[in-house]
Structure 1
Amino acid sequence: MIPSNELRLIDANLNRLREGIRVVEDMFRYIYNDKTLASRLKELRHQARLECYEALLDSRDIKNDVLKQSTASEQTRQDIYSVMIANFKRAQESARVLEEFTKIQSVQNSETFKYIRYELYDLEKALTKITSNSK
């Protein structure tokens, strides 16, 4: 049984991971009209799941989140490219947290998040080359 405070951390990072991937996925779907890259991102987002949804939801405590206020850097983006980079970093960092904390319960889950993290590193490199040329 995973303690509630650890479930809360996992829940927040699962949400952050999927949200970050979704932002980049939608950019490649709607802005760049790139089915292949959007589909790769969608597949990663769908892999970012754990089987304990109800427990994760029960642990959610948004009212007591001590850092729920946005920082100035989170409130500003210069252009589409900066949106993409911010969301890649958000997703990669969350994947790392999930990789570490799921080791406690499941090596298989940990390896899934490690795989997602490395795929995001690879996609970031490829996609920033594509998009920086169109800036």
Structure 2
Amino acid sequence: MLDANLNRLKEGIRVVEDTARYLHNDEQIASCLKSLRHKATLKNISSLLVYRDSVQDVLKKTISSEADRDELSKIVLANFKRAQESSRVLEEYLKYADLGIFGESEVFKDIRYKLYELEKKFILKHFEGISPSK
């Protein structure tokens, strides 16, 4: 679970980062996202790889709401949400004593709150008429 959520977190950030960088030429937001992506790490990550089973993942199929990306803003919002949710999962499970060896819960809490702020900045700056969600 830690490995999967770290991947989701970094992938979600990367999608938004590349949108800011290549489609909006927004160095400030892209740089902040890049910093967060690099901050999102776990200790002893290689020991988690043995548990990865993407072939048997029971929820790997795309559902209809995940396929609805007919606007750039939907891609950005979905990936901010994906990253925020994954950060929250990591934050919560790293509080569990047996998993604390992989990292600090507070690091992922900090990432999550920074993602909330960056979502607001990005949406208000680049997508007129769309409200950032909470």
Normalising by structure 2, we get a TM-score of 0.89
Equivalent residue, structure 1, for 2:2: 10
Match of residue 132, structure 1, among 124, 127, 131 = 127
Normalising by structure 1, we get a TM-score of 0.88
Deviation string 1:17-70 (CA, Å, 9 cap, x unpaired) is: 000000000001100111111010000000110111211211101122111111
Equivalent residue, structure 1, for 2:100: 106
The structure 1 segments of at least 4 consecutive aligned residues displaced by more than 2 Å after TM superposition are 105-108
Secondary structure of the residue aligned to 1:133 is coil
Match of residue 49, structure 1, among 38, 41, 44 = 41
Unaligned 5+ residue runs, structure 1? 1-8
Deviation string 1:70-121 (CA, Å, 9 cap, x unpaired) is: 1011112021111000000000000000000011243961000000000000
Unaligned 5+ residue runs, structure 2? none
Match of residue 75, structure 2, among 52, 60, 83 = 83
Separation in structure 1 between the aligned mates of residue 34 and residue 48 of structure 2, nearest angstrom: 22
Separation in structure 2 between the aligned mates of residue 71 and residue 65 of structure 1, nearest angstrom: 14
Q: CA deviation at 1:134?
A: 8.6
Equivalent residue, structure 1, for 2:54: 62
CA RMSD of aligned residues (A): 1.7
Identity between Structure 1 and Structure 2 (%):
52
Separation in structure 2 between the aligned mates of residue 94 and residue 38 of structure 1, nearest angstrom: 20
